[in-house]
Amino acid sequence: MNSFKEKTEEILSLAGIKINGPDPWDIQVHDERLYGRVLSQGSLGLGESYMDGWWDCDRLDEFSNRLHKAHIDKKVKPMSMIFHFLKARLTNRQNKRRAKIVGEKHYDLGNDFYAFMLDKRMVYTCGYWKNANNLDEAQEHKLELVCRKIGLEPGMKILDIGCGWGSFAKYAAEKYKARVVGITVSKEQVELAKEICHGLPVEIRFQDYRDVDEKFDRIISLGMFEHVGYKNYRAYMEVAERNLKEGGLFLLHTIGGNESLTVVDPWLEKYIFPNSLIPSIKQISTAIEGLFVMEDWHNFGPDYDKTLMAWFANCDGNWPHLKKQFDERFYRMWKYYLLICAGCFRSRSNQLWQIILSKGDRKEAYQSIR
């Protein structure tokens, strides 16, 4: 046991983190079994042991930031990761049958739950914090940015792949008089999105992106590409190309990684986003080659740090209401998810990209908008 502790201390010291130290990013250990569990199970053991109350940290976001800046994940590689690599290599984790799992496990937690966590429009993607003072403003600025980037005009028909609770569809229909088709694999989202967009030229469908077959003036996808999987990136882009009219624009809003991966973090895979994966520049560029012209690539990853911290503040402040529905272990799981991810963006390990892709012969040059 002492050797496990010494090894753990040695690894954490590389990130400036101490066991039972005085700084807010130091961990306070309540169960000595933690060390063996983390060394044998890696990030899965670290996250599960936090859920189990084996350790605490005043600033999980800074703990995560320091771990990622020091690339600790490359120094702890448990044998169990071989299983995750083989599973990703031998199976299509995001095929049509499995694609709905993330909807059932994550997005169907309950509309009331997400209403407590998100902004007033219920936008579950990164906000745009330039000139924004709060979460509501950041999300509204993001929706406006998307509309401006795709040159939205009255009467245009838009496809929203992964439409969530209909926030973009409602905004585009009300402010720009657009017609919107929104698709999602979450039944809870379909129900509320239809209610939110009632009376507007908006159609919300429970539908896999692979089943869409009609023409649109513009296509947008905000925070859905992370559920597509590397084996399906090309097929996804082919669907977008097939459904986009000549001369049209496609805006892809996605979390991005600095390296090409085939597996997601095991803890996130098990508890938060099953069958998900963060794409790299190389993986996206390979997928679009020969299909689209890349017009613009905008990175505002640090804004996701602010967004996640705002979501956590909402969850934490509303916990007296939420604990009637969720237990303490869920609270620790969700807190860990939001704050650990905030640290990923703060360390610049993860990015947030908005990519504009064009199809066909566009006579005018695209003007980048920020």
Question: Which active-site residues does the annotation give?
Answer: 341
Q: Among candidates 101, 163, 181, 142, which has minimal Cα distance to 352?
A: 142
The two beta strands, 216-222 and 244-257, are parallel
Q: State how far the alpha carbon of 61 is from the alpha carbons of 131, 210, 346, 352, 369, in Å.
A: 24, 36, 8, 18, 31
Which residues, in sequence order, are CB contacts of 148 under 8 Å at separation 6+? 369
Residues facing residue 160 across a β-bridge: 182, 220
Helix spans in 23-178 (H)? 34-41, 43-51, 60-69, 81-90, 101-105, 111-117, 135-149, 167-176
Q: State how far the alpha carbon of 352 is from the alpha carbons of 19, 36, 152, 242, 349, in Å.
A: 32, 35, 22, 26, 10
Strand order in the sheet with 179-184: 202-206, 179-184, 157-161, 216-222, 244-257, 350-358, 293-299
Check: CB of residue 181 under 8 Å from CB of residue 155.
Answer: no
Check: CB of residue 70 under 8 Å from CB of residue 348.
Answer: no
SS3 of residue 295 by DSSP: strand
Which residues, in sequence order, are CB contacts of 188 under 8 Å at separation 6+? 107, 108, 109, 110, 111
Which residues, in sequence order, are CB contacts of 35 under 8 Å at separation 6+? 1, 4, 5, 7, 8
Q: State how far the alpha carbon of 62 is from the alpha carbons of 15, 68, 126, 341, in Å.
A: 11, 10, 19, 10
